[in-house]
Structure 1
């Protein structure tokens, strides 16, 4: 059974989490796929300070912040066959919380140094949720894709019309559902299905 993890980078339980859950539901419709959602909301995640102690210690994780919530989440993500990041748009980029989360993968250099293709069969995809229709969703998706490119993941969009990832328009609605942006949510579902099928292709 292949596993896809969804990482929700929002501090609120609303549109971003909704879109990610819909993507994961669609992924689970594909035989041979199981999913899990990780929410950063309420988690203690300190940002990397680039001291490189993890590299010097050859420790896959963080040698400094050993007691925050990131160490468990870090290893879950490394063990997953696919990851879908979802972030609200902050100043046309990812949320500060998701940025801190991503920064903590510095020690992956240890794996990549030994084998540049170590994550080469892992699949990554992205969902961005903005309060306005053209509020920076594609730039936010690009930020998340850059993380995957840095680690050598296979990055996928959602096929026709969902070229990079799913861009959702929340209209800053506090009670989000399909009716607020049916096209955006349908695209999130397409993305989830595409990630699942790509994961299975990579492991044939």
Structure 2
């Protein structure tokens, strides 16, 4: 079996040195890499130029699986997303919602509808999960996690949770003013657990797909 590819996407507008979300994703990467045969890549949306979808439907008229109006950093990210067997999206909570950077990333998948039409099983053997960081203990983490899961549901990507206290995905707390570095050891350990499980599920789905 070919290597399982996991894509980790950091939706924080902060550079990695100041991003608690990036720290959580690094822990998930550590967990995923503990599984044999898994290749992990972490990409940041920080500093990338991604125009928002204007819902002109030109991609559909052009029969394209990607936007044909804007050519920016999404050109590269489409390929990474489509080729991944597992995807973990991390995002801080901004006013009980996702960041503007992640919202624009979301919006550009209007065109991927074509992939599901051409191949109904394109997304069904992929797995997705979320990691969310709030500025307070009850700061909207579940609302943002639901948004991440909604993206996966829209595409028919299987949602991975861990159970055992990590019900929907890994949720962390870190002061939102950036005054301290990440100090949530339980949350970070949950990220490792989530990364490990996503890798295991992605590996099982890929093996099952090859047997169909």
Q: Does the pair score TM above 0.5? A: yes
Q: Give the superposition deviation at 1:117.
A: 2.5
Q: Which runs of 5+ in 1 are unaligned?
A: none
1:65 aligns with 2:67: no
Question: Within 1, Cα distance between the matches of 2:130 and 2:104?
Answer: 17
- Asked whether the 8 Å contact 1:18–1:176 carries over to 2, the reply is no
Cα shift readout 1:80-105 (whole Å, capped 9, x = no counterpart): 10110000101111111001001111
Name the TM-score, length of structure 2 as normaliser.
0.92
Kindly report which structure 2 residues correspond to 1:55-204, keeping only aligned pairs within 5 A, or say none.
55-66=60-71, 68-172=72-176, 173-177=178-182, 180-204=183-207
Secondary structure class of the residue paired with 2:139: coil
CA RMSD of aligned residues (A): 1.0
Aligned residue pairs: how many? 201
Q: What CA distance in whole angstroms lies between the structure 2 residues aligned with 1:169 and 1:18?
A: 12
1:7 aligns to 2:9 (yes or no): yes
Given that 1:116 and 1:152 are in contact with CA atoms closer than 8 Å, whether structure 2 keeps it comes out as no
TM-score by length of 1: 0.95
Shift of 1:115: 2.9
- The reply on whether 1:24 has 2:26 as its aligned counterpart is no
- Contact kept, 8 Å, 1:158 with 1:192, in 2: the verdict is no
CA distance in 2, matches of 1:65, 1:171: 36
Q: Secondary structure at the match of 1:167?
A: strand
